[in-house]
Amino acid sequence: MTEAAAGRERLPYHGPCFICGPDNPEGMGLDWYAEEGRVFTTFRFAEAQQGPRNHAHGGAAAAVLDEAMGAAVWRAGHQVLAANLNVDFRAPVPLGVEVQVEAWVAEVTGRKARAVARLTLPGSEQPLVEATGLFVAVPGFFAPGGAGAIAPDARSWAPDTEPDA
């Protein structure tokens, strides 16, 4: 556990997820932590996520922020899918340098949830990448037998909830 994760609840992995799944040999294997309605991680982009020389690919950064926002919305009790992502790249993200990601739910209205995420260097308030996302509950998608049926361990991201109907 990193110093940044001390005192925070580690969220469970979920199978072959590209960002956090331990069952995906090509994945990034990030650990996510929750505290006071926010989701966090600290990690380094590796050469496998390179875009411009010695820097992270924008799609890799966007994928991490998508996962962070989705985790924040799930943690808030809403089983959703991403419907829209908006990513603002403020500065290039260097490879091999520790970065922090933080995400939170900004608003929930009916089946829609809006979330915010940012990627920064430790100790900096200036984001390298920022994102907002719209996440929507899709009735039946995560239910047993649904197209996105989820494993029992993934349900613990949103304890004591059932798929949105």
DSSP label of 69: H
Task: State how far the Cα of 65 lies from the Cα of 115, in Å rounded to an integer.
Answer: 10
Single pTM value for the model: 0.85
Report the residue count for the chain.
165
Confidence of residue 2 (pLDDT cuts 50, 70, 90): very low
Using a 10 angstrom Cβ sphere, with 0-12 exposed, 13-18 middle and 19 or more buried, the burial of residue 109 is exposed
What pLDDT, on a 0 to 100 scale, did the predictor assign at position 85?
Answer: 98
Weakest mean pLDDT among 65-69, 88-92, 144-148: 144-148
Question: Mean pLDDT, to the nearest integer, of 32-53?
Answer: 96
What pLDDT, on a 0 to 100 scale, did the predictor assign at position 150?
Answer: 59
21-30, 90-99, 144-153: which has the highest mean pLDDT?
Answer: 90-99
- Of 88, 141, 93, 96, nearest to 117 by C-alpha is 88
Task: State how far the Cα of 44 lies from the Cα of 96, in Å rounded to an integer.
Answer: 5
Question: Mean pLDDT, to the nearest integer, of 50-77?
Answer: 97
Query: What is the per-residue burial (b if ≥16 Cβ within 10 Å, else e) of 89-107?
Result: eeebbebeeebbbbbbbee
The residue assigned the tokens 């940044």 is 4
Cβ contact 17:67 at 8 Å: yes
Secondary-structure class of domain 3-157 per CATH: alpha beta
Confidence of residue 127 (pLDDT cuts 50, 70, 90): very high
Q: Average per-residue pLDDT in the chain? A: 88
Confidence of residue 165 (pLDDT cuts 50, 70, 90): very low
pLDDT digits (tens, 9 = 90+) for 85-126: 999 999 999 999 999 999 999 999 999 999 999 999 999 999
So where are the chain's domains? 3-157
